[in-house]
Amino acid sequence: MSFLAPALLFALPLAALPVIIHLIHLHRRRTIEWAAMMFLLAAQQMNRGYSRLRQMLILAFRVLAVLGLILLVARPLAGGWLGLTGGSPDAVIVLLDRSASMEQQNLATGESKRSSAVKKIARGIEDMFGSRTKVVLIDSATNEPTLIDNAKALTDLPAAQTSDTAADLPAMMQSALDFITVNQIGRTDIWIASDLRQADWNATSGRWEALRAAFAKLEAVRFHLIAYPQLAEDNIAVQVDHVIRRETTDRAELMLDLRLTRHSAAPQPVELPLQVVVNGARSTMKVTLLANELVLQAQAVPIDKSVKRGWGRIELPADTNIRDNVFDFVFDQPSMPLSVIVSDDPDVIDPMRAVLASPIEPGRKQEVQVLSPQRASEIDWDKTALVLWHAPLPASDDILAKQLTNHVTSGRTVIFFPPPNGQRDEASILGMRWGNWKQVNKVENAGSIEWWRASDDLLANARGGTALPVGELEVLKHCEIAGDGSPLARLANGELLMARAASEQSGGAWFCGTLPGSAHSSLARDGIVFYAMLQRALIQGAKTLGSAQLREASSNALPGNVTWRQADGSEASVSSLVAGVVASDERLVALNRPLREDSPAMVSDEAVKKLFAGLQFRRVDDEVENENALANEIWRTFLLLMALALIGEAILCLPGAKDTQRVETKREVMA
């Protein structure tokens, strides 16, 4: 048994108050002997056993009443049959994080965080509520509610099985809120099973504030977080950053950029056999991981010159999470990625064009197109990898707004820059919009950037771990950014300078609050950060171009109007939620887990408390090895205990039949 308010248990000694009062009352009596005392003592001696038993029972009931009151206000928790006294809600909504990181398992039992959570929740619902409440599952891969007739069926549902997707906890919470309001459900318990990865929770998103306010209006909703925050230090993940087919006069080869990562506090050298599979042909190479990260750039894998297009994968030996031991890739003849700059300001266009026309790989060409805002409708969306938008945002009902949104959801990228100074922009897109322009106060050094996300995204550290010189940039003017995006950089005064719009797809939409011109910032003058930003966005957007594409596993990663099959010729069914290489008549697509699933960053305990501030919330930190059942509030048990104790005490305090007869006789004599 546990308690939601354990501090109140310090009041347990107060249960001794009835005993103390009784003892004090005994010492207050004065003994005065008089002539008839011997007869009274003799009569009392005859009833002494019953009288003492009665007094002890009355005293015990009073102690139990006080004890029940203290335990009641401490809000006890228990599972099994005792948990049934907590009452049955109208519905239990299970928010299941089935992202790739939840597949970390106990090697001895083969049980993963996801499977352990599903089994415990199913058993807990069955033990506490039986069939008296409806059960709804909302999984992170589809974000769709699934009504379950029996809690036992939860473990067998396809929506509760393994996936290689990421999770979006704010979106799952919104789905739960919509289900409650649309179906007008009364008392609801929401159980959240998650490993608390920061990338999945996005605790800094503005969506949490709106969700918290909406749930606060629903007084009958309680939240139960079943957390699995443990990290496996011996787990190693592999990813392929880049694949290029290169051909010379005498041979052909694939150039791979590989990255191996782990999260050990005291890393020890380990030799790993890497299995390399290309079009079904398998080879092995050995590498040594000395620290927590190993980057292998331009690793050559020989292939036949006649092979112009194909697929492959990199495999690691099995460890605690098999979902990050494999990374699939595809290759084809290199295509020329197209970038489109929408602007009519030469001070903005020139530095953008200079960066995008200078590819990272020597000899590879990158096409850049410049269009004025009036000609934005001429964008060839099927061939465009990156859009740099320096113009007022299109209205929500404008065809351009829909095209930009589709561009992002299809896996491409766009960076929005604020409209020219003086042009008020009231429109919003992808949940983001521009505010007012601000002049930076140089005296307070507000133009420096003191925080940026260096772990991932456009401002991440270089492959060798070297940080980009973001803190050396100088910002003279910036435009406010409003919306539900994830912060990437903040100025010294705390104001947002760069953010990424929320998106469930592998593409990306970023809002940069300043311009590269010298009147606004030193982005173009210093160059390194600006070059890294644009090139990373271009590389990410180009992954979904051409006939060989790299995509993140998600519910709509594969177009439904195309017939897909396994690239290796197997008869296995195709799912966009599971990693692998699939093919159509025209395309090869490699599906992989989102790389942010490899990040070990967790949501802090304080951050979790803030996200649920003002709501009925409890947290249970669980482990895969832990077999204890989930608990429910059982305050009704102690309320019943207190009531029974008071009733028992009242019954024992009633005068007996003989006492009543004596009182009546005495009244007759006196009359």
Which pLDDT score, from 0 to 100, does residue 427 have?
86
Question: Which pLDDT belongs to residue 142?
Answer: 92
In what helix (H) or strand (E) does residue 198 lie, and over which residues does it extend?
helix 198-201
CA dihedral 612, 614, 615, 621 (to 10 degrees): 40
Query: In whole numbers, what is the pLDDT of the chain averaged over residues?
Result: 84
Q: Which of these, 118, 100, 113, 93, lies nearest to 174 by C-alpha position? A: 93
Domains of the chain, first to last: 2-29+49-76+637-670 (no CATH), 80-231+603-633 (3.40.50.410), 237-334+546-598 (2.60.40), 338-542 (3.40.50.880)
Rounded to the nearest angstrom, the gap between the alpha carbon of residue 556 and the centroid of all alpha carbons in its chain is 20
Provide the pLDDT confidence category of residue 163 given band limits of 50, 70 and 90.
very high
Indicate the Cα dihedral angle 15, 17, 23, 25, nearest 10°: -140
Strands annotated E in 556-662: 565-566, 580-583, 588-592, 616-621, 632-633
Question: At a CB cut-off of 8 Å and minimum separation 6, what does 646 contact?
Answer: 61, 65
Distance from C-alpha of 396 to C-alpha of 393, rounded to nearest angstrom:
9
What is the average per-residue pLDDT within 3-30? 69
Angle between helices 528-542 and 346-356 (to 10 degrees): 60
Higher pLDDT, 70 or 617: 617
Cα dihedral 163→510→444→451 (10° resolution): 20
Residue 77 has pLDDT above 70, yes or no: no
Residue 84's pLDDT is what? Answer: 44
Joined tokens for residue 126: 């069955």
pLDDT at 624 over 70: no
Q: Where are the beta strands (DSSP E) in 567-611?
A: 580-583, 588-592
CA distance readout (Å), 550 to 279, 333, 545, 592: 16, 14, 9, 8
Q: What is residue 147's predicted lDDT score, i.e. its pLDDT?
A: 92
In DSSP terms, 214 is beta-bridged to none
Q: Which of 496, 379, 371, 485 is nearest to 428 (CA)?
A: 485
CA gap 580, 593 in Å, rounded? 10
Report whether pLDDT(538) > 70: yes
pLDDT of residue 82: 46
The model carries a pTM of 0.72
What's the order of all strands across the beta sheet hosting 145-148? 145-148, 134-139, 91-96, 188-194, 221-227, 616-621
H/E run at residue 145: strand 145-148
In this prediction, residue 64 has a pLDDT band, given cuts at 50, 70 and 90, of confident
Work out the percent of the chain whose per-residue pLDDT is above 90: 43
Residue 298: the pLDDT is 85
Closest C-alpha to 509, from 556, 554, 541:
541
Helix (H, G, I), strand (E, B) or coil at 20: helix
